[in-house]
Amino acid sequence: MLREATGSLFTGAVARVEVGGELRFERAYGVTRADGAARPVYVDTRFDVASLTKLFVSDTALAFVAKGAIDLDEPLTRWIDEWRSTDHAPITLRMLLAHTSGMNSGADYRTLRNRNVERFALSRALVAKPGERVIYSDLGMIALGVLLARAGGYALSHAIARRFPSTTIGYLPTLGLRSGIPATEDDGWRGRVQGIVHDEKAYLMHGVAGHAGLFASAGDVARLTESYLGAVWGRPSVRLPRDLALAAVREQADDPVLRRGWGWALKTSDANSCGTRFSQTSFGHTGFTGTCVWADPERDVQGVLLTNTLYFGRGDSRPLRAAFYDAVVESLDL
């Protein structure tokens, strides 16, 4: 299925499947772009993972919780002084992680090009009371990135590098690495985007943000996911206190479309991108550029699919993703 989709739904992809924490399948497909500048994609190729960034930033926040630096239920005005005496004052880390802060989902980048995006994110009016309901929010994750930088005393990029010491993960790929990264959209503003973050808000934040901006390999995403799937099965891959890791992949906020853990999305119906065969206990996330990961604790299986579907337009990637995860279960006869 992925071979057939190469060149029409994406120019390049990497698929990785693990069962019981062990690698069972890993393969690269296609090239970095559909022109004369194309280069092959390899299994360790790094992609613009878009909103999968939220998983790495959320995990880093939970590491702050584990060491007692931030409390899940403490109002964040201690670090985000801009929220004192405002409607934002009751917002806690728990709310940011579960997308229940009441913060607006985002903003059209064309209204932000001459503004400080961080300041805008922190000050934009709420659309719900903190804790009232789920609103999937890029602005909330931008605030989370600000929180980590202020609480840690160093830049968000440094916090991520300390938490994930991999040679294939990080913000701001160097110029020499960019041609090996699958290109995304020709957006009419920056031209063909390759090796710089696609997300416009993150781009306006100089490439480092809590909601987007990371470049990573399928192996990087799988290692993060295994640290939570391994918690379910008692494996030593867990990098957080086990109770904290387990809570992160269990329901923290109800939503009819996509329930929320801490950072993680939870399967809510067969219309979700993990397809029909992954169990109702599955957790994962998607990225706008064409990236996704889902793990099924009942089968002890996870699948990472990194693509650049955005290269061919902003069509719906859900059918491709669902077909992949259905095929994982069918192929492994789980």
Does residue 306 sit within a domain? no
Q: What is the pLDDT of residues 242-264, one digit of tens each?
A: 999 999 999 999 999 999 999 99
pLDDT of residue 234: 96
Range of the domain at 126: 57-163
Buried b (16+ CB within 10 A) or exposed e, 292-326: bbbbbbebbbbbbbbbbbbbeeeeebeebbbebbb
Does residue 280 sit within a domain? no
Give ∠ CA 330-323-232 in degrees, rounded to 5: 60
Q: What is the pLDDT of residues 162-184, one digit of tens each?
A: 999 999 999 999 999 999 999 99
The C-alpha atoms of residue 291 and residue 95 are separated, in whole angstroms, by: 25
Q: What is the pLDDT of residues 54-106, one digit of tens each?
A: 999 999 999 999 999 999 999 999 999 999 999 999 999 999 999 999 999 98
Domain count for the chain: 1
Query: For residue 221, is pLDDT > 80?
Result: yes
Backbone angle region of 30, left / alpha / beta, with phi > 0 → left and psi within -120 to 50 → alpha = left
CA distances from 165 to 125, 154, 216 (A): 37, 16, 12
The C-alpha atoms of residue 182 and residue 38 are separated, in whole angstroms, by: 9
Does residue 114 sit within a domain? yes
pLDDT of residue 237: 92
pLDDT of residue 112: 85
Q: What is the pLDDT of residues 189-216, one digit of tens each?
A: 999 999 999 999 999 999 999 999 999 9
pLDDT of residue 296: 98
Does residue 126 sit within a domain? yes
For the chain, give the number of residues: 334
pLDDT of residue 313: 95
Does residue 285 sit within a domain? no
CA distances from 51 to 47, 155, 216, 290, 291 (A): 12, 19, 12, 10, 8
Does residue 311 sit within a domain? no
The C-alpha atoms of residue 305 and residue 15 are separated, in whole angstroms, by: 5
Which pair of tokens denotes residue 37?
Answer: 């500048």
Does residue 327 sit within a domain? no
Neighbours of 274 (CB within 10 A): 29
| Secondary structure of residue 305 in the 3-state scheme | strand
Does residue 194 sit within a domain? no
Q: Supply the mean pLDDT for the chain.
A: 97
pLDDT of residue 334: 72
Predicted model pTM: 0.97
